Structure 1
């Protein structure tokens, strides 16, 4: 390497080098270090400590050391790389604090990602950075209790991730007014409080994630250009009528909407026909009442619907046209009806079906057996009766682990951040009751195979065909069955 004086770019992504970063820096000493402009070692099993030799790359403008096992402090010599425009040190094991010295001469820096390290950022309140960033990722980096005031100087930010960063205060109004150019904003998993202002003029904003904070007050009005919105697990209260039905005659681009875990109440509004692009809708764990509105059936793109832990009543017939559904969770409500026979035809793609703790009654329809992709079916704590259908062995996804076993259940959607189309991915999650305890599954959800028919009024024999479901992990039936029937199975 030392003789390659004309080397300008070195890219070694995904190669299991298992070398220390200091050893690699030694390879590029002398004339190579002064000429190198691009150094990429993404996901190459690199370990060890960053050393002061980082400062030898005087003409480096692109540095990617992400997804490795690099440990220790970031040397102050980073601040001497005056030509650096792009730096990604995310997903390592770096620690120690970052200060103004680390950025002192980085006047050209536009992309900085240090996410998923345990590094506090300690700068003065009046610090004005020498750079103007377009992208900043500080996920899991401790920033102190107050919202960082130095961000107000960044006039070109279009991607900002400060999730899990320990912020406990409020967001200054000046930030909201100056954030109109941001495409992706993630402030989730902090303890930020206060009210969310109306963002109808934030036409550039495509992803807004404020979940798992302490925001309160009513839902704000939001731009119809938004694609993903997460307000889950806050203290937001009131009705959602104005939030959903604002601009009633205007089609929205929303694809992802999380409002779970708040204090929202009242009936669900009947103007969902304006959300034809909606793929994921989570309104669970609130205080909604009334029937499911008819316009929910107009969500022809809907793949995941979570309404658990509310006080909803009536039937699920309004969902009959939601034929793209893969996950339906309406558990712990007051829904009253037979399980519809159209479930086979209309929900043919369903993977997760959770109807537990409602008032579904009468027989279990045989059409349920024809849902070939069904992996989780939870009908516990209802008023179902009759025999368990012998056709239960037709649940093919529970017979063997398919070729996709181990892969999370995913939903993909398009972003247009910075005018460049990007495919983003979200993972499905589900709360599943196993052995009387509720557990949340996400990345391993596709490994779960569960039937729960407990706390119903089933009678007769347990069908021996259940033994064909060899991938099944848990099958709970009502104890009205005799011990002899269990022994036979």
Structure 2
């Protein structure tokens, strides 16, 4: 066994703990034990695996504390997935690891309360999952410096906010996310403490395909430039996690933002007239905001839409008619809490006042976009 280079036992029914003797497998390159029933602490002997470049123990019941000694000789590590365990990080804020990660997932682990300073040396990182990781800090100034290759950023279900770099006001979503993260495809900032407005710079990211800002304290209007988010869905991507610098082979693209969730905020104003330009949109959730005015007719042209929630706003006027809109399920779940909406789908007839509240025309919408 001392010559073993790969150990893949994932998706079985393994139980018990990791043996201390794991540190004797000094030639091991990959250790994949995800989706099992492993429990107990990760032995410190793991730090002896100087050849290890991939460690994935996600979706187990491991617990205990990880400290610098667990990573003592892991100078080749580039993929680290600890998600859905009860693991806690306890490293010095001044610790500088020997490795540089390309891929780091620690969902439901305790990485916080501070943002992990040791990550700032991972300048080729492309994937960060910190959902529900106990962070109650602000995003540090150095974070912008490691985002050039970033394609997936999930900071949801934390208490992140405060003094973010290059912000207009404390608590705002930083504008550099749109300017600098040109390869970012998935952005999830759900359930944090972000405030202020959605930065219009976010519209500059033409690769974004999943945007979730739900359950924050974001206010203001939905930027009318949001129809520019005709991002790229990568249909075939080969991530070379183990190469340095990071390499990406993209065979083909389809332009489309496919998921947009801005629910449970304080957004006001109207739904952008050109929302229909996001013609590959599959899921749209603007529920529980302060949106007013009519539903734009272009919404009815979204032929790929399979989920829509506009409930509990102040929308008014006639609901647009379209083949796809008639197939989306219970109208009360989609439009409920908007007492001035009308139309056959709600079995509520429209009077002259309702019809006068119909969404602005395309001409007016263009003027609003120019003004913005």
**Quick one: distance in 1 between partners of 2:30 and 2:223?**
48
**Quick one: distance in 1 between partners of 2:80 and 2:61?**
17
**Quick one: distance in 1 between partners of 2:42 and 2:213?**
34
Q: Which runs of 5+ in 2 are unaligned?
A: 162-170, 233-253, 351-372
Give the structure, 1 or 2, with the largest relative contact order (CA under 8 Å, sep 6 or more). 2
Task: Pick one of 220, 223, 235 that aligns with 1:241.
Answer: 223
- Aligned partner of residue 180 in structure 2, secondary structure: coil
1:230 aligns with 2:212: yes
TM-superposed deviation, 1:324? 8.6
- Residues 273, 177 of structure 1: CA spacing in aligned structure 2 closer, same or farther, 3 A cutoff? farther
1:34 aligns with 2:23: no
Q: After the TM superposition, which residues 272-421 of structure 1 pair with which residues of structure 2 at under 5 Å, given as runs?
A: 272-317=275-320, 319-322=321-324, 325-327=327-329, 329-340=334-345, 360-361=348-349
**Quick one: distance in 1 between partners of 2:131 and 2:318?**
39
Preserved CA contact (<8 Å) 1:335 1:360: no
**Quick one: distance in 2 between partners of 1:177 and 1:73?**
33
Preserved CA contact (<8 Å) 2:300 2:325: no
**Quick one: distance in 1 between partners of 2:122 and 2:184?**
16
Task: Pick one of 187, 190, 193 that aligns with 1:211.
Answer: 190
Displacement over 4 Å in runs of 4+: 245-248
Q: Which runs of 5+ in 1 are unaligned?
A: 1-32, 341-354, 363-489
**CA deviation vs aligned residue, 1:428-474 (integer Å, no higher than 9, x gap):** xxxxxxxxxxxxxxxxxxxxxxxxxxxxxxxxxxxxxxxxxxxxxxx
The corresponding residue for 1:58 is 26
TM-score, normalization by structure 1: 0.61
Max radius of gyration: which structure? Answer: 1
- Aligned partner of residue 219 in structure 2, secondary structure: strand
- Aligned partner of residue 187 in structure 2, secondary structure: strand
Q: Between Structure 1 and Structure 2, how many residues are aligned?
A: 311
The corresponding residue for 2:264 is 261
- Residues 324, 186 of structure 1: CA spacing in aligned structure 2 closer, same or farther, 3 A cutoff? farther
TM-superposed deviation, 1:172? 1.8
- Residues 191, 247 of structure 1: CA spacing in aligned structure 2 closer, same or farther, 3 A cutoff? closer
**Quick one: distance in 1 between partners of 2:146 and 2:112?**
22
Task: Pick one of 165, 176, 200 that aligns with 2:179.
Answer: 200
TM-superposed deviation, 1:169? 1.5
TM-superposed deviation, 1:330? 1.1
TM-superposed deviation, 1:46? 0.6
Preserved CA contact (<8 Å) 1:305 1:325: no
**Quick one: distance in 2 between partners of 1:263 and 1:253?**
26
The corresponding residue for 2:245 is none
The corresponding residue for 1:457 is none
Task: Pick one of 88, 91, 94 that aligns with 2:56.
Answer: 88
RMSD: 2.2
The corresponding residue for 2:40 is 72
Preserved CA contact (<8 Å) 1:135 1:160: yes
**Quick one: distance in 1 between partners of 2:72 and 2:213?**
36
Q: After the TM superposition, which residues 81-160 of structure 1 pair with which residues of structure 2 at under 5 Å, given as runs?
A: 81-160=49-128
**Quick one: distance in 2 between partners of 1:154 and 1:186?**
17
Query: For structure 1, which segment, 44-53 or 283-292, has the greater mean C-alpha deviation from structure 2 after superposition?
Result: 44-53
Preserved CA contact (<8 Å) 2:209 2:257: yes
- Residues 231, 242 of structure 1: CA spacing in aligned structure 2 closer, same or farther, 3 A cutoff? same
**Quick one: distance in 2 between partners of 1:104 and 1:167?**
24
**CA deviation vs aligned residue, 1:251-292 (integer Å, no higher than 9, x gap):** 963110110000000111201232111111000000001110
- Aligned partner of residue 35 in structure 1, secondary structure: coil
- Residues 247, 133 of structure 1: CA spacing in aligned structure 2 closer, same or farther, 3 A cutoff? closer
**Quick one: distance in 1 between partners of 2:93 and 2:207?**
34
Preserved CA contact (<8 Å) 1:252 1:275: no
